[in-house]
């Protein structure tokens, strides 16, 4: 997708299934089942959308998916499917090689967002993107290298410690502007140092939401918080701020995990905000009767 001279693509790393208790937390089933009805394993689909941005000569990758080091048992547990071949194949279809990537942004360091940072080469873990600087918030790094009983199952050093050895890690202290079109904004809640990506081109605005709201429904209904969020009340406050911003700006929202509504804009419907297809996609959709 092209917005002026800003290029933006979602790049899919596959789809997994997760327990609905994790995805919807305290939300009653009677409410979320109109969005996602769990299957016989009590699981709902979760997609893994990374984002590629080209801006002012920089090639920027946001999040790196689940990588290729899952054991057969982990692949089964995640129920990982990659009909299109995963992140690197998706980048290749856009004409992007691993060497082309200048910056890798990790929204946070949970495994489903950064396991594709590194790969095993001749028995050694090395960065997948050899020239890239990897950008992580300092607070996120602190939590990742000191996991607690609850986060130990998702913070794995193999996904980010090799970046230290090669000098490719840059820790960020808050919001930063990568170019005049791409800004990283700290959006705390899911984790303390979670960051989202704001895109601007002319009057167009975009937001790669990350796990500020895993599914579009979490962005519509700010009180719906996943069970993984470490600061649930802060998640709600963060979403209320960004929901107001997105409504005011008419921003395009890019959801990392929503298999049904990966891209949308807010529209008022029956007294609340609803994520609907953006105007361009809507105009090319078949007429409804
Ligand atoms: Zn996630």
Distance 226 CA to ligand 1 centre (A): 10
Q: What is the pLDDT of residues 10-57, one digit of tens each?
A: 999 999 999 999 899 899 898 898 889 999 999 999 999 999 999 999
Distance 225 CA to ligand 1 centre (A): 13
Distance 197 CA to ligand 1 centre (A): 15
User: CA gyration radius for the chain?
Assistant: 18
Q: What is the pTM of this model?
A: 0.94
Distance 161 CA to ligand 1 centre (A): 19
Q: What pLDDT is attached to residue 153? A: 87
Distance 270 CA to ligand 1 centre (A): 30
Q: What pLDDT is attached to residue 281? A: 53
Distance 185 CA to ligand 1 centre (A): 17
Looking at the chain, list the stretches that DSSP marks H as alpha helix, in order from N- to C-terminal side: 20-24, 29-32, 72-78, 87-93, 111-114, 138-145, 161-165, 216-220, 232-249, 279-284
Please state, in angstroms and rounded to a whole number, the distance separating the CA atoms of residues 119 and 69: 7
CA nearest to 158, candidates 123, 115, 110: 115
Distance 211 CA to ligand 1 centre (A): 5
Distance 284 CA to ligand 1 centre (A): 30
Q: What is the pLDDT along the chain (289 residues), one digit of tens a residue?
A: 999 999 999 999 999 999 999 899 899 898 898 889 999 999 999 999 999 999 999 999 999 999 999 999 999 999 999 999 999 999 999 999 999 999 999 999 999 999 999 999 999 999 999 999 999 999 999 999 999 988 898 999 999 999 999 999 999 999 999 999 999 999 999 999 999 999 999 999 999 999 999 999 999 999 999 999 999 999 999 999 999 999 999 999 999 999 999 999 999 999 999 999 998 754 444 444 4
Distance 287 CA to ligand 1 centre (A): 34
Distance 171 CA to ligand 1 centre (A): 20
Distance 288 CA to ligand 1 centre (A): 33
| Bridge partners for 205 per DSSP | 200
Distance 283 CA to ligand 1 centre (A): 31
Distance 257 CA to ligand 1 centre (A): 7
Long-range contacts for 144-152 (Cβ within 8 Å, ≥24 apart)? 144/109, 150/230, 151/230
* Cβ < 5 A residues, ion ligand 1: 112, 211
Contact call for residues 276 and 246 (beta carbons, < 8 A): no
Please state, in angstroms and rounded to a whole number, the distance separating the CA atoms of residues 177 and 119: 29
Per the document, the length of the chain is 289
On the CB side of 93, how many CA atoms lie within 13 Å of its CA?
12
Q: What 3-state class would DSSP assign to 283?
A: helix
- Token code pair at residue 247: 């409504």
Q: What pLDDT is attached to residue 34? A: 87
Distance 131 CA to ligand 1 centre (A): 25
Which H or E run contains 155? none
Please state, in angstroms and rounded to a whole number, the distance separating the CA atoms of residues 38 and 45: 8
Distance 289 CA to ligand 1 centre (A): 37
Please state, in angstroms and rounded to a whole number, the distance separating the CA atoms of residues 150 and 134: 25
Query: Who contacts 75 (Cβ-Cβ below 8 Å, separation ≥6)?
Result: none
Q: What is the pLDDT of residues 70-88, one digit of tens each?
A: 999 999 999 999 999 999 9
């Amino acid at each position: 997708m092209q917005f002026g001279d800003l290029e933006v693509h979602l790049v899919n790393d596959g789809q997994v299934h997760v327990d609905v208790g994790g995805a919807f937390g305290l939300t009653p089933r009677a409410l979320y089942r109109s969005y996602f009805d769990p299957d016989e394993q009590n699981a709902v689909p979760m997609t893994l959308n990374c984002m590629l941005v080209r801006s002012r000569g920089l090639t920027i990758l946001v999040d790196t998916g689940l990588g290729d080091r899952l054991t057969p048992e982990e692949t089964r547990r995640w129920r990982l499917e990659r009909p299109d071949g995963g992140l690197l194949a998706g980048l290749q279809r856009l004409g992007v090689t691993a060497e082309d990537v200048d910056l890798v942004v990790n929204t946070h360091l949970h495994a489903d967002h950064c396991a594709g940072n590194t790969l095993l080469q001749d028995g050694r873990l090395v960065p997948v993107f050899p020239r890239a600087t990897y950008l992580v918030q300092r607070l996120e790094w602190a939590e990742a290298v000191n996991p607690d009983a609850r986060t130990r199952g998702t913070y794995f050093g193999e996904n980010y410690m090799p970046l230290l050895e090669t000098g490719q890690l840059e820790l960020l202290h808050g919001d930063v502007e990568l170019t005049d079109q791409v800004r990283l904004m700290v959006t705390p809640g899911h984790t303390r140092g979670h960051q989202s990506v704001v895109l601007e081109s002319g009057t167009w605005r975009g937001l790669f939401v990350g796990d500020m709201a895993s599914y579009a429904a979490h962005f519509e209904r700010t009180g719906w918080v996943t069970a993984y969020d470490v600061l649930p009340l802060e998640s709600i406050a963060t979403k209320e701020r960004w929901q107001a911003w997105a409504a005011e700006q008419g921003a395009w929202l890019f959801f990392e995990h929503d298999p049904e509504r990966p891209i949308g804009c807010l529209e008022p419907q029956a007294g609340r905000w609803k994520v609907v297809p953006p105007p361009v996609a809507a105009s090319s959709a078949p007429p409804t009767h």
